[in-house]
Structure 1
Amino acid sequence: MPKSKHKLTRHALLASVAVAALLTTGCSADSTPEAAAPAAAVTETPAAAPTPEQLAVVKAPLGKATPAAVATQEAAKAGGTARKSPLKVASYDRKSGRAIITAKTVTPPADHPTPPSSTPAPTAPSSPTDPTSPSAPSSPAPSASETTAAPAAPVRVGDVIASAPAPGAPDGLLAEVTEVVGEAPSGGTEVVTKSAELSSVLGESKAKGEVPVDPAAIDVDPLVEGVKVSWAKTGDLTFGPEGARLPLGSLRIDVGAAIATAEGAPASASASVRGFVQLAPEVAFSYDGSGGGRGSAPGGAFLGLTGDWASKWSLKGRAAATTATDGKPLRIPFAKLHADPVIQAGPIPIVVNLDLVCYFQVAADGKVTVDVEQDLKGDFRVGGTFSWSKGWTPVSESAMTGTPVGVKVTARGDVKASLGAEASIGLYGTVGVSADLAPYLRAEAAGSAEGSSDGTGSVSGSWALYGGVDLSGALQIQLTIFGTPIFQHRIPLGELHKEWPLAKGEASTSTSALKPAA
């Protein structure tokens, strides 16, 4: 046989052996399904990442006790969301962090498994009569009267509690359990807590919404005499002092007060402010727990105050230039407002702390005597927004328009009158955003003028009337309650200043006319 042909035959033989072996292996695999399982597992498509839970942000139900929510230690570590819980914060001491927790039931929830005992159960002795028996018949279990099991605590170390306002915690409670002390003498379980963050109860969920603040739930503390409060809500409509019908959800505060006059001014130049402010505030809240591998911190968040604003006020007389003590514009707070509305992100109660101080402010040179009035309407939005690319950044927006009702300016000089509100908004007793919203009316005169915005009157010299709004404030470090990185200083909202001409008057050889500004 030629050498080349022998070599080819040998190669063919080897190939046949290999094919036979392959077929044999395949048949063996087909006949044993269990052996094929690992190979099949390798080819499985990886499971898609779970979609973050979308939580509705709504107002807590009226007339019902707002439930608490608890995030177990296991759920918090896994980025899970807190769940509704029957527990109640019976009392809380902010200084020590101690709280008394009660619950309708002491049975641990499903995600609170009872930890196994560290001591193994004793093994029953073998039966002496049957050597093949693994154990002797078990002895009878002790009766309930012979043993008393300690009730399970409603919470464990590492659990995070989110609660609506409770005794000792008027601003609500967001706290992590650091120690379970035991049964309290007055009943319930005593625990020690420390402050927690929203990320520990909201986890990787998403939430977004704007919730109106019930005007009936706002406490109003008048700071000067003559303050009148009226409000309207669904099912309980109230009319304003002037008989005006209020829009539903609005709070109106009317005020009239005398202010200091300029030094040396005659008695006839007495100064006063009068008017009202009408608010329909809403809490804006959003949270995006998709941190993108950045631990427990969220990917985005927002906390702010929005709403509609309407006001009408007048300034009459010759106001003092400044206050007597610090030389700053004269500011007269006339009402302090406070509310702790509870909103719910899914089952989680979030307590918002809202404070407003309404005020008049007058800045004048002490020379000009005025009788001016303005009607103003618009809206506003202030707050702080967080993203990983920019960190915390301020939000300050306002869209307002004003109309002059009447104008009278005597002598040369300038005056600026504001009817504004200082606002602060926070969560669980910590201030996160502060803002000062100050719509104003400004008049400047190079002589004297009298008339109204309808285009009639007389002028000697010239004058101009302007409307405007100033908005300022800051983000506070306490916004890190969301679980975001700490910023080391207050972040100014940025000065928002808008001004628009309302009307003007010019000298003329004939009867002068007050001209509304273009």
Structure 2
Amino acid sequence: MSTTRKTASALAATSLLVLCGLGAAPSASAADAGGSTPPAAPVVTDAGGARLTSYDPATGQAVVATGGSGSAAGAVKVGQVIDSLPSAVAPKGALLMVTGVQKATDGQVAVSTRPAAVNELLGANTASLHTEVAPSSIAVTPQLPGLKVTYKPRIDGASGSASAGLELNADTDLDLPDGTSAAFSGSMELDAGVDFDYTGTAFDLKQARVGFTTDARADWHVQGTFKGSTGDIKIPIASLNAAPVVWAGPIPVVVNVDLTLYAHISANGTVTVDTEDSYDGSWGVHADYTKQGGWTKSTDSGSTTHDPATGTVSGKGDIHTGLLTEGTIALYNSLGVKVGVEPYLRTVISGRAVLDYDGTVESLRGSVDMYGGLNIGGSLLARLKIMGATLFERDLPFTIYNREQRLLHATR
């Protein structure tokens, strides 16, 4: 994780209650080593017995277990920010402002809350963080029978904290509109990280960034005959979910990552394929905020390499095959970005072509063009509510980024 930079002033307007469902805040010495200033109010962690035992997002009602009498029982006050890490009660974490406190009984404090803003949590601070998402922390939910999930060791010297990349391997049949089917197999390896920047005060957000970067390698093989206009065929392969915690000094910030990987195919005309393509590259998608310009998008296509396509293609028409990743990256599941990223192979054929392992044309009758591309699209996800008012009524779309390069052009 990168070091965290903070101004000398600490939280001024609100005290902070950290409820740790998955680990406690760093010790004072660890925070000081990062050059950060702890908040003015005491931070209560699970070491003191504080935890969120009940929370209803619809009503804002919550119950905090304080661990009994004493200082912990009196720690929950109106005007505090509750910063709850992921737990069974709040799987995506919770960032709440206490608006009312009922009398404590048996170590339980019932509170009324509203969603809190990021600047209410971090106050007069500056943070610039990049955190690797450990593959072991990603929950993979297969959407296809027989999906293989493995962790591939990095042998080239990992730049992040994780020592292995997450690899998914799928092998399935695709149902086509004409009642036939095509075979699809593919694999994707991900090495992901989250980014979070912040500058502000307890009353004012000045600058912020939340986003996602990844190095990825994908291989996919498609075999079948496609007739007419198929439209978009999207087959879910797996859902990926993680809730990494980034530390702004002693203050934890929860980033929710929820992605789904699809096989994506579309075709026009009549095309028979038995082809394989490979992609190796990096990309990033971020939502950026400045006080002067408001929220804007930022996409980084990084470096992209498509290996030469191999196999056989025939017919008259065009076909698009790719691996599509869609989902959201957000702070406390309320503010962040929706993303759609797809490396793909697009083939235009009139005749028949056989491509060797190095992408050269072994035999050709007619003409063939192949293009390797990368699509990045999405929108700003904003669902933050303050005092019952939604700050953003709708997602703010990004301009779709597309980069396509010709891999092959041949005619005979």
Q: TM-score range by the shorter chain?
A: 0.7 to 0.9
- How far the C-alpha of 1:248 sits from its partner, in A, is 2.7
Q: Deviations for 1:71-123, whole angstroms, at most 9, x for unmatched residues?
A: xxxxxxxxx666531332233233332322233575449xxxxxxxxxxxxxx
Query: Which residue of 261, 266, 271 maps to 1:358?
Result: 261
Gap change, CA 1:53 and 1:379, over 3 Å in 2: farther
Contact 1:160-1:196 within 8 A present in 2 as well: yes
Contact 1:175-1:194 within 8 A present in 2 as well: yes
Residue 230 of structure 1 corresponds to which residue in structure 2? 150
Quick check: 1:462 aligned with 2:373? no
Q: Deviations for 1:334-390, whole angstroms, at most 9, x for unmatched residues?
A: 111111222221121212111111001111125011122111111111020001121
Query: Which residue of 433, 438, 441 maps to 2:345?
Result: 441
Query: What is the correspondence of 1:51-450 to structure 2 with a 5 Å cutoff?
Result: 51=8, 65-67=23-25, 84-86=43-45, 87-104=50-67, 106-108=69-71, 153-185=74-106, 187-232=107-152, 248-261=163-176, 263=178, 271-289=182-200, 296-322=203-229, 328-399=231-302, 400-430=304-334, 432-450=336-354
Letter in 2 for 1:319: F
How large is the Cα RMSD of the aligned pairs? 3.1
d(CA) in 2 for partners of 1:479, 1:63: 23
Residue 496 of structure 1 corresponds to which residue in structure 2? 401
Residue 10 of structure 1 corresponds to which residue in structure 2? none
Contact 2:102-2:110 within 8 A present in 1 as well: yes
Q: What is the TM-score of this pair, normalised by structure 1?
A: 0.66
d(CA) in 2 for partners of 1:105, 1:288: 37
Gap change, CA 1:454 and 1:368, over 3 Å in 2: closer
d(CA) in 2 for partners of 1:207, 1:480: 23
Contact 2:21-2:86 within 8 A present in 1 as well: no
Rg larger in 1 or in 2? Answer: 1
- How far the C-alpha of 1:51 sits from its partner, in A, is 4.2
Contact 1:409-1:445 within 8 A present in 2 as well: yes
Query: What is the correspondence of 1:479-490 to structure 2 with a 5 Å cutoff?
Result: 486-490=391-395
- How far the C-alpha of 1:495 sits from its partner, in A, is 0.8
- How far the C-alpha of 1:320 sits from its partner, in A, is 4.9
Residue 124 of structure 1 corresponds to which residue in structure 2? none
Contact 2:383-2:392 within 8 A present in 1 as well: no
Q: What is the TM-score of this pair, normalised by structure 2?
A: 0.82
Quick check: 1:476 aligned with 2:381? yes
Q: Deviations for 1:466-508, whole angstroms, at most 9, x for unmatched residues?
A: 1001111100223688xxx94454221111011011123221x
d(CA) in 1 for partners of 2:165, 2:41: 34
Q: Deviations for 1:443-465, whole angstroms, at most 9, x for unmatched residues?
A: 10121111223535111111011
Letter in 1 for 2:212: L
d(CA) in 1 for partners of 2:368, 2:385: 49
Letter in 1 for 2:44: S
Contact 1:81-1:202 within 8 A present in 2 as well: no
d(CA) in 2 for partners of 1:459, 1:232: 38
User: What's the secondary structure of 1:65's corresponding residue?
Assistant: coil
Gap change, CA 1:320 and 1:81, over 3 Å in 2: farther
Indicate the percent of aligned positions where both proteins have the same amino acid.
31
Letter in 2 for 1:281: A
Contact 1:67-1:164 within 8 A present in 2 as well: no
More helix by share: 1
User: What's the secondary structure of 2:263's corresponding residue?
Assistant: strand
Letter in 2 for 1:258: D
Gap regions ≥5 residues in structure 1: 1-49, 55-61, 70-79, 110-151, 238-246, 508-518
d(CA) in 1 for partners of 2:25, 2:68: 14
d(CA) in 1 for partners of 2:343, 2:250: 39
Which of 83-92 and 453-462 deviates more?
83-92
Letter in 2 for 1:84: V
